[in-house]
Amino acid sequence: MSDAASFKQVKQQNLKRLQQYVPIVARVHGTNHPEFHQVRTVFDEMVKIMHEAGSKHPELLQQFAKLREITSNYRVPQDVCETYEAVYRMLSELDAAYQESLHL
């Protein structure tokens, strides 16, 4: 299995759930964690880029760099629910797979 396939697999595993969870987490936790609104904005931008790329490899370096900065490398705050934690875990997995795919 190539690294690019790995990114595609992680994207396929996580993207639908992320699209469901991110708006919910923003609504539930956005007041106490306003940074999550930035996470949602970057994530929405990534979804658009991935959709426009179709079967080609999307250019997401800037977006993942922004996410790592906003989230302090996907560090989960202590006062959040499991869904918030799942979003950060899935974004981190997607980020790692994307970074690996660049080293083909």
pTM of the model: 0.92
What is the maximal distance between C-alpha atoms in the chain? 42
pLDDT at position 4: 55
pLDDT of residue 55: 86
Q: What is the pLDDT of residue 62?
A: 97
Residue with tokens 């609104």: 37
User: Is the separation of the CB atoms in 72 and 64 below 8 Å?
Assistant: no
Is residue 81 very low, low, confident or very high in pLDDT (cuts 50, 70, 90)?
A: very high
The number of distinct structural domains making up the chain is 1
- Segment 27-76, tens digit of pLDDT: 999 999 999 999 999 999 999 999 999 889 999 999 999 999 999 999 99
Range of the domain at 10: 3-101
